[in-house]
Amino acid sequence: MDFFEITSKHINTLNNSEKELYNYIIRNMDEVKRSTIRELAAKCYVSPATIIRFLRKIGFSGYSDFNAIIKYTDLNIQENTNPFVVDQEKYRIEYLKNIYESVRVLDEEKVDKIIEILKEKPRIVVMARGLNKSIGHYFEYLFSGLGFEVVFPEDHYFRKMLLNGIRNSDLVFFLSYGGEDKELIWDIEQLNIKSKATVVSITSANNNPVQNMSHINLYVFADYIQFNEIDMTSRISMISIIELIAYKYMEKIIE
């Protein structure tokens, strides 16, 4: 069993502080694998005793047990330059697992915050580049159908012009799996300087600049795949999160 399989049944019992610890571990798993309990405690600004209590609460007997399991947990972010040599049965299992894990770790409190903002009928702005633009089009279609004004500037210069007219009431979604796109990072910097608009990002679980510069971040899992130097990483988990937000909004407005 891996980290996610062991902890899945305990997530709903965590308080806010414990959820922060849980999220830190997921986002910094490679670093956590190499940390002692004291180092992890220092990075999380808690005591080693707090770490032990937390680990027992999520299904581990202690730090050694946790550390052994986490070293065998695959976040599926390895670069695969020739994805077609991967056993297809294994890939199908991992593909479904990525969707399941992305939905399972979805922070309901963050989603509720987004829904509360959506109830005010803000203008929605979608920022995306590369393969993520296809998700941006779907996002635009979905939320336009729900009656929102959705703006999706596809070109860098259109994004730049839009930032000059950004409204404090806007809800701005940044779709960036890697979370390290320099143009989008610049866009967020300018947006935060020029307005008080709410920034929501959907990125990978790994610690990244887009995630850290957002007011609300939702993270997803996927196998990183590059073929002929082109990013072909699946965005299905990202689509799942967007749909869940839309469907929850629909539920709330008909209650």
Q: What is the pLDDT of residue 75?
A: 52
The pair of structure tokens assigned to 116 is: 């509360």
Q: What is the rounded average pLDDT of the residues 56-84?
A: 70
- Domain holding 19, by residue range, is 3-73
Q: Which residues pair with 204 in a beta bridge?
A: 220
Provide φ and ψ at 174, rounded to 5°: -105, 120
What CA–CA distances, in Å, run from 210 to 13, 121, 232?
Answer: 29, 25, 20
What CA–CA distances, in Å, run from 142 to 214, 216, 217, 221, 250?
Answer: 22, 20, 20, 22, 11
8 A C-beta contact, residue 181 and residue 128: no
The pair of structure tokens assigned to 148 is: 């929102």
Strand 150-151 with 124-128, pairing = parallel
- Name the pLDDT band for 232 (thresholds 50, 70, 90): confident
Q: Which residues pair with 187 in a beta bridge?
A: none
CATH number at residue 33: 1.10.10.10
Same domain, 219 and 118: yes
pLDDT in tens, 182-204: 999 999 999 999 999 999 999 98
In this prediction, what percent of the chain has a pLDDT beyond 70?
Answer: 92
Same domain, 57 and 119: no
pLDDT score of 231 more than 60: yes
* 202 found inside a domain: yes
The pair of structure tokens assigned to 167 is: 């409204």
Q: What is the pLDDT of residue 89?
A: 63
Q: What is the pLDDT of residue 168?
A: 95
**Predicted structure pTM score:** 0.72
Same domain, 216 and 110: yes
Among 16-30, 190-204, 205-219, which stretch is predicted with the lowest mean pLDDT? 16-30
Q: Give the number of domains in the chain.
A: 2
Q: What is the pLDDT of residue 238?
A: 95
CATH number at residue 137: 3.40.50.10490
* 84 found inside a domain: no
